[in-house]
Amino acid sequence: MRTAHPVEREVGIEYYVSDEDGTGGQLRVEPEDFRVRELELFDAEPVDAEPGDYPHLLLRVELRGWDTNDFAKTLSNQLGISRERVSWAGTKDKHAVTTQLFSIKGGDPDDLPELSDVEYEVVGRTGRSILFGDLAGNEFEIRIRDPERPENAAAITEQLQIFAGSHEGNKTEAVGVPNYFGQQRFGSRRPVSHTVGLAIVREEWEQAVMSYVGNASEREPEETQTARRFVDETRDWQEALDRFPNYLGYERSMLHRLAEGSDSEDDFRAALETLPSNLQQLFVHAAQSYLFNLVLSKRLERGLPLHRPVAGDVVCFTDSEAPEGFALPDQDRTQRVTEKRVDSVTRHCERGRAFVTAPLVGTETELGEGEPGEIEREVLDEVGIEPGEFELPGEFNSTGTRRAILVRTALAFETDPLTLSFKLPRGAYATVLLREYLKTDPEAL
């Protein structure tokens, strides 16, 4: 294994599992270099179905160069409705061409606004909004421009095939990587969402706000560094509004609320609650993701396998509703692995019917036993968090779940131009696979 980039280590990603030097190169020079299409699980009634029974309009939307949240905000503004009435199954990157589902409560096809670099396909009507669990996964086609060592893609692929589930070094057809939460979960340029989340879990509302509004990074523009340092030094919220650029809209909304208050803990919490509910949840999810990444890194460090269980592990089984030929973990179907069952559960894992998991810690988390449990408890002790602390007010509360620790996929690549094509289950990050190939600064991913 190779040591990860320093910025990755800030979010718990400690290693590359392929030893070959990276190809180098650039991603997303043009949005068309990064194409993502959702693998859907969501059914709809015809568009002329009774709106009273099926009030949500379901759309398949191709976006070029749009952040998902920005599109939802723009769409709701154009329609003159609350942003909360627009839902989607998965958040996508801005620097890409993405095809994904959106639902609009009370939406009418005739009201859809014309927006630049947006193409709509009306799918039908549904009885509820689309949610994250309605997505099976994503299909990717990614071009790497100007690679320095494109020939290394073959050796990296072979090493990842071995990592996917080898027995005495025999490679599988699929590649495999640790199922880390990717850098964009935390911020590629300024990875702070997990520190905000950890402060929220401890109900340190002031610390949470200052981690987000202040806390400058040398990797961000000088203009925003200066504004954040001013907030850290003065706590002059009103003056800060004149210094924060308009494109930092979330920070500005928090500053507006703070300028109206008296710097009480309730004021700091209220400032956080000016943010969209999905962003509030993201902070706590980022804290859970950071803990998960640390557990996964420690498991790699100790030499525990990812493709098969050891005694004390908790596995989950395949989702029976997943598309044919696409193995999808079902976190609600779990089983603790005893010493007597290691061999039988290993066979399930080899056949793609089960997955070794680690916890996304929440109030209902049951930790593993044996060495896996030791690792999980060690991480929680080091960070100073207990599962019960995730019992939080409002959008911040989380019961927790489990997540597969290895992601496998069939991968095809071409070297001229260097292009990777693959599918990933929902919740898995393309950048976690791409980082093994490029081995570059995560901001470039």
- Cα separation of 176 and 186, whole Å? 23
With 0-12 / 13-18 / 19 or more C-beta atoms within 10 angstroms meaning exposed / middle / buried, residue 76 is middle
Residue 93 appears among annotated catalytic residues: yes
Q: At what angle do helices 205-213 and 249-260 cross, to 10 degrees?
A: 140
Q: What CA–CA distances, in Å, run from 206 to 52, 214, 352? A: 44, 11, 45
Alpha helix (H) residue ranges in 220-340? 222-234, 237-243, 249-260, 265-272, 277-302
**Which of the 8 DSSP states describes residue 214?**
S
- Annotate 156-203 with DSSP letters as a single string: HHHHHHHHTT-STT---SSEEEE-PPPGGGT-SSS--HHHHHHHHHTT
How big is the chain, counted in residues?
445
- Residue linked to tokens 């309605």: 134
- Cα separation of 229 and 223, whole Å? 10
Yes or no: say if 420 and 157 are a contact pair by the CB < 8 Å rule.
Answer: no
**Active-site position among 33, 43, 93, 232:** 93
Catalytic residue numbers? Answer: 93
